[in-house]
Amino acid sequence: MTGRRFMPDQEQALSEKDYWLKDFRCPLCGCVFQTIRLKARALTVVKREPDFFVQYRGNLPWVYEVAVCPNCAYACEQRIWKDLVIVDRDGLRKALDSVRPPDLRSFTSERTMEMGLTSFCLALITYPFCSARYYERANLALRAGYLARGYRERIEGGSEASELEFKKLAHEFFLKSYELEQIEETRFGVSGIMYIIGELYRQLGDYRQAVNWFSKVVHEKKCRPQILRLARDQWELAREQYKAEKASE
């Protein structure tokens, strides 16, 4: 953090009317605690981008999306806290002990964006020892990338490195979910997952694969209208990027 100059709205102090405190019981150590959950009224949408990233003014919802146990560092998205089941308790304890932040209690109160990113990293460590499917791990990494992007956009000269790493993880997990899991009833659906795989290929610079995946989306019989429109637009963009890449070789 040293030496970086922050934009005026890099951090926004929370007002009590912007959040409520939600109760949690840690499934790993039994600790009972509360953590912040933002209200919809605290969020101001500015713009939506093709990879489902939403630009916000002021508060970023992802900062508080992951609840962190202040005793053992168990971390999980608030929305699936009660659904996630630990399958390797000893392995999880050892993994979390090896990366345990020194200030765990601070995660139950107001957070900086950097703390938000740390909470996602703890959840990415937690999920492999639990019942989380590749789909949940992909969504987690995708949202971590959103927060990294939002963080970078509010810092002069901020690095894209962490966002890129989260994108790579999300891409890997979405591919595995598409190949190995039943995804018809997920929030994205089959066409949505195919689309985000294509968009992540494009953002990672593999334009040929991006074109292929967007083409699959367009020919998907049960494609949602919104996804179909996005796929057609991004297919054109990826096609032009692929042509430009080939011309420069």
Indicate whether 245 and 161 sit together in one domain: no
Indicate whether 167 and 221 sit together in one domain: no
Mean pLDDT of 160-172: 94
User: Using one digit for the tens of pLDDT, what is the confidence trace for 168-227?
Assistant: 999 999 999 999 999 988 989 999 999 999 999 999 999 999 999 999 999 988 898 999
User: Using one digit for the tens of pLDDT, what is the confidence trace for 129-159?
Assistant: 999 999 999 999 999 999 999 888 877 555 6
- Neighbour-count burial for 130-155, b at 16+ CB within 10 Å, e otherwise: bebbbbbbbbbbbbbbbbbbbbbebe
Range of the domain at 229: 182-249
Indicate whether 239 and 196 sit together in one domain: yes
Indicate whether 174 and 195 sit together in one domain: no
User: Measuring CA to CA, which residue among 213, 191, 190, 181 is closest to residue 200?
Assistant: 213
How far is the C-alpha of 202 from the C-alpha of 188, rounded, in Å?
Answer: 18
Indicate whether 32 and 106 sit together in one domain: yes
Q: Would you state the pLDDT for residue 222?
A: 84
Domain boundary among the residues 163, 181, 199 is at 181
Q: Would you state the pLDDT for residue 155?
A: 73
Domain membership flag for residue 43: yes
pTM for the model:
0.90
Whether the per-residue pLDDT at 12 is higher than 70: the answer is no
Indicate whether 59 and 93 sit together in one domain: yes
How far is the C-alpha of 15 from the C-alpha of 108, rounded, in Å?
Answer: 16
Q: Would you state the pLDDT for residue 13?
A: 67
Whether the per-residue pLDDT at 4 is higher than 50: the answer is no
Domain membership flag for residue 5: no
User: Measuring CA to CA, which residue among 113, 161, 166 is closest to residue 139?
Assistant: 166
Whether the per-residue pLDDT at 64 is higher than 80: the answer is yes
Domain membership flag for residue 1: no
What is the total count of domains within the chain? Answer: 2
Work out the burial of residue 172: count CB atoms within 10 Å of its CB; fewer than 13 is exposed, 13-18 middle, 19 or more buried. Answer: middle
Indicate whether 29 and 78 sit together in one domain: yes
Cβ–Cβ < 8 Å for 125, 171: no
Indicate whether 206 and 125 sit together in one domain: no
User: Using one digit for the tens of pLDDT, what is the confidence trace for 103-132?
Assistant: 999 999 999 989 999 999 999 999 999 999
Whether the per-residue pLDDT at 1 is higher than 70: the answer is no
